[in-house]
Amino acid sequence: MFFAGVATFAQLYSFQPLLPALTRTFEVSAAAAALTVSAATLGLAASVIPWSSFADAVGRVPAMRLSVIAATLLGLAALASPRFELVVAFRLLEGCALGGVPAVAMAYVNEEVHRDHAARAGAIYVAGTSIGGLAGREVSGPVAHWTGHWNVGVAATLTLCVAAALVFTVLVPPARGFVPHRARPGDFVPRGSLVHKLAVNLRDRRTRTLFIHGFLLMGAFVAMYNYLGFHLEGSPYQLPSTVVDLMFLAYLVGTVGSYVTGSLAERFGRRRVYLAFLLAYLGGTALTLAAPLWLIVTGLLLLTAGFFGAHAIAQSWAVALAPGAKAQASSLYNLFYYAGSSALGWSGGQLMDWFGWPGVAGMVMAAVALIVLTVLPAARTWGGDRE
């Protein structure tokens, strides 16, 4: 599952460091170039629920295998496209294909791993997503810079993704905790069945709360990384963009945070560990308001570890608490998660224009504080930290 996370999220974010090169190659604006990223995330958000329904019919492992194979082929088509419109179109389709892994990964983990260890297994998958997100940014960008061709940078990332996908498809154990639904003529209405499974999870107060947490966690995190670079490139720091790009290396701290989350949750319980990571997220964001650069960097490392740890807990907990239909619970979490990325990521830009960096940091701290306020009274009644 770690390698599935790498294969998926390296592809998803491989175009982010290439936006300036795309503007020069295709003679488009920066906003248009950014469509290569937003189209992929939009496709992923739109596809997670259909993928969860498909996985209910064919099984978790076949669905995830098909997802990574189809996404790789569409990624190859995108980098070979001669027109910008085709690149964006293939990126949209690539995102739709990538949705198969996050749609069912946590459902698969919770069905196949004993519940006492499911949090650790889920955290390992989230660690793979953080490594994948880092690789997608830190492989394609430098390779494109060295070669002078954006598509060579994407090809380098795709090579890594193919290797990770092969490891995943060979090593992933067959599902034993789930029996695919076999439809009989006249007794299966896909739309009605899917709507029912979604409604069951949305009606449950516990899972609904965690879906909203995913929205706030990811939205605040994307806003931080979208606009901190503007803050550091401006006065008084005036850092060059090549140095600012290194801030993505903080994802390595997030990887460690994700990895240790599971063992910490097993030892101390989900609620306590969740709150600890949320407080790290909140405190790290506050440090970015300080003037000394070393405090800003410390804050970035702390908030990144806090985000990935909290996200690993929230996602696995939402699936563990789901009243049936676990694949749909995982998909709904991802739908809210990426919706938050779009909504708060854009809102952070408006606050940056109006109030500068304090406006963005203030929004992030308000979002995380809201999560803390809902966790404190609610989690005590959720049926046990390890449920």
C-alpha distance from residue 360 to each of 16, 37, 306 (Å): 21, 21, 17
Lowest mean pLDDT, pick from 59-63, 150-154, 203-207: 203-207
In whole angstroms, give the CA distance from residue 299 to residue 292.
11
Q: Boundaries of CATH 1.20.1250.20 in the chain?
A: 1-172, 193-379
Highest averaged pLDDT of the listed ranges 266-270, 279-283, 372-376: 279-283
Reduced to 3 states (helix: H, G, I; strand: E, B; else coil), residue 22 is: helix
- pLDDT confidence tier of residue 189, bands split at 50, 70 and 90: very low
**Per-residue pLDDT, 261:** 78
In whole angstroms, give the CA distance from residue 97 to residue 293.
40
**Per-residue pLDDT, 380:** 57
Nearest to 203 by CA among 215, 191, 213, 195: 195
> pLDDT by residue (tens digit) across 36-94?
877 888 888 888 888 888 888 888 889 999 998 899 889 888 888 888 999 999 999 99
> pLDDT by residue (tens digit) across 235-271?
888 887 667 777 878 878 877 777 777 778 878 888 8
Nearest to 108 by CA among 303, 273, 327, 267: 327
We find that the CATH architecture of domain 1-172 is Up-down Bundle (1.20)
- pLDDT confidence tier of residue 15, bands split at 50, 70 and 90: confident
**Per-residue pLDDT, 371:** 93
Cα torsion angle, 337, 14, 38, 359, sign? positive
**Per-residue pLDDT, 240:** 76
Buried b (16+ CB within 10 A) or exposed e, 369-380: eebeeebeeebe
Q: Does domain 193-379 have CATH number 1.10.10.10?
A: no
Mean pLDDT of the chain: 82
Other C-beta atoms lying within 10 Å of the C-beta of residue 246: 11
Under a CB-based contact definition with an 8 Å cutoff, are residues 210 and 317 in contact?
yes
